[in-house]
A and B are shown apart, each in its own frame.
Chain A
Amino acid sequence: MTTFVLRRLVWTVPVILLVILLTFLLMRQIEGNPFRTSERAIPESIQQNLEEKYGLDDPWYVQYLRYVKGVFTLDLGPSLVLRNRDVNDIVREHFPPSLELGALAMLFALVFGVPLGMLSALRANTFFDYGAMFVSNVGFAIPSFLVATLLIYFFALEWGDIFGLPTSGWDTWQSKVLPTIALGLGPMAYFARLTRGSMLETMQQDYIRTARAKGLRWRRVVVVHTLRNSLIPVVTAAGPILGFLITGSFIIEQIFAIPGIGRYYVTAVTGRDYSVVMGLTVLLALIVIVANLVVDILYGFLDPRTRDARA
């Protein structure tokens, strides 16, 4: 097991290098001037001064190496657009809300989705099952911006007095409720369907039938055997989903005015703030990699067969 983990960790390094390289090359291709923020043109001399100041007039490989060195010394450089701030500051201030939002949404999705799926599987083909699966499917299909809009409209505006939920922001615990639901509804539905399907399939398996035939108590059978095995696909899916929740939350952040990474990312790309974009992309890639790694480790625990197969 340890070798597995170590090997994966070692692999992270070239992956990060690749991500940096790709992002770097892509950013270089984009037209645009990070220093020109308003429509008022920048005089040539000032433009030159700025490029010198930020090292943008060096050849690309020099810049690349400088940047790689920066990443490994944890110095992501200054922001080109926000002249009084460094990328490190930006990450430090804006990453926690996104991480929190992603984690809360994930928690919401798991806590409500998995049991819903389980119960549906246990009551397969009953009204409960159909109803739950209908709700799940709808929840999965409706785009999150509509969910967010509806939630704000009803719970924060129309019935605001009853619920006491604000329409936006991210400071009090009340302000975190609606964004979590808006972001977590889709994954919740996904987990519900996945759990249900997985449980149903597991329950058909011979060894389960054997356990039942042997007369083991139903509950024990369900909990110990079925659940553990049917959760494998859920765990596998959880990694990428968590990655997606953290890296793809910018619409929710925009609608709810949450000062997170997502919103910043879009602003940085459109503003051509090269250093911020690269810093954030590297960070987001790291998250995805870590999430996948965690999942793979858990998977290894759950299903020992895979550990060898992966070598």
Chain B
Amino acid sequence: MARAPRAATSHADIPLEAAPVTAPLAGAPVRQTNLWKDAWYRYIRNRAAVVAGAVFVLLLLYCLIWPAVSPYDPNDVDFSQAREMPSLEHPFGTDTFGRDLFTRTALGGRISIGIGFAATLVILAIGVAYGSLSGFVGGRLDNGMMRFLDALYGLPYLPFAIITLAVIGDSGFWSLVIALSIASWLTTARIMRGQVMTLKQNDYVRAAHVVGARRHRVLMRHILPNTLGILVIAVFLELPGVILGEAFLSFIGLGIGPPDASWGSMAQEGYKVYRVFPLLIIIPSVAIATLILCANFIADGLRDALDPRTRET
């Protein structure tokens, strides 16, 4: 396989469409394999992205596995153990109620990351559906849909999240997911539309038309798989925004209720005692920051690996 020349900024020069094309129309996406393998090699060369990826995976494992094996009940109130500094028994110390912070942070991570991924997926689902429909059909429908999209751009993100939460009535997991995704899918839709429109012009797609492949088949078989790369990148780009959004909502008290906690609600509790026990605000904030950092580096790495020419702003 050809190795891309090493550029100082790792802006290798292999555009998406120029990957070896031998796909028979009906067929197996052979080029996909080449594309992904290619991308993987490029990704690995980016040290920051690799480290970020590893940390991210570790974080996920910690949040998923630790609460199941932890010897501590995260909801057990024991005032005699309140606010202890980190020790061997409590690697992160304990909180105001004497609950083990290491376990609670993992649980909080489940919720924060869970909301993050769920909201991101919802955003992608809506954005992809909307954008690809608009871009693919084109013409007046596209025009109308884009105008409507422009209109929706006027919705201020956080205020609408707040109103949506108030409408839904409670602040559970799914309420937050809906509230956070409701105003954020717009950019994804736009990008998707742009992507679809560009690809629509490509030769192989036109060729598919000529041969008589039906429209939806063209969409599913040829266009969408090419955009998969963009979508994966989009996941890691949207994730920080959603996580921060949830943290903000929790910080003003609109987030997850007790005894569950997310990193944002833990930070709010920590803010109240930061003068005597700063650990309670630092730990969840650092957790959030770590997640965001990793997501950013992964996104950068993926972008360089998959489609170095794309500029997402």
| A residues with CB within 8 A of B | 11, 14-16, 18-19, 22-23, 26-27, 29-32, 124-125, 137-138, 140-143, 145-146, 149, 153, 194, 198, 200-201, 204, 233, 236-237, 243-244, 247-248, 250-251, 254, 265-266, 269-270, 277, 280-281, 284-289, 292
Contacts and interface: CB of A to CB of B under 8 A. Distances in A.
B242 interface: no
27 contacts: A11-B151, A15-B151, A16-B154, A19-B154, A23-B163, A26-B164, A26-B167, A27-B163, A124-B8, A137-B293, A137-B297, A138-B289, A141-B288, A141-B293, A149-B271, A149-B281, A200-B11, A201-B11, A201-B311, A204-B11, A247-B156, A265-B162, A266-B252, A269-B162, A269-B166, A270-B166, A289-B153
B158 A247 contact: yes
A146 B279 CA distance: 12
Given A31-B169, A140-B296, A14 B151 contact: yes
A247 B271 contact: no
Contacts of B277: none
B290 interface: yes
Most buried by A among B155, B162, B244: B155
Given A141-B296, A153-B274, A201-B11, A292 B153 contact: yes
Contacts of B297: 137
A98 B24 CA distance: 58
User: Main SS of the interface on chain A?
Assistant: helix
A23 B151 CA distance: 13
Given A30-B166, A247-B156, 5 more contacts: A26-B164, A138-B289, A141-B240, A142-B288, A250-B158
Interface string B136-172: 0000000000010011111111111011101101000
A149 B273 CA distance: 11
B32 interface: no
A254 B153 CA distance: 26
Nearest to B312: A233
B118 interface: no
Interface in B218-251: 240, 244, 247-248, 251
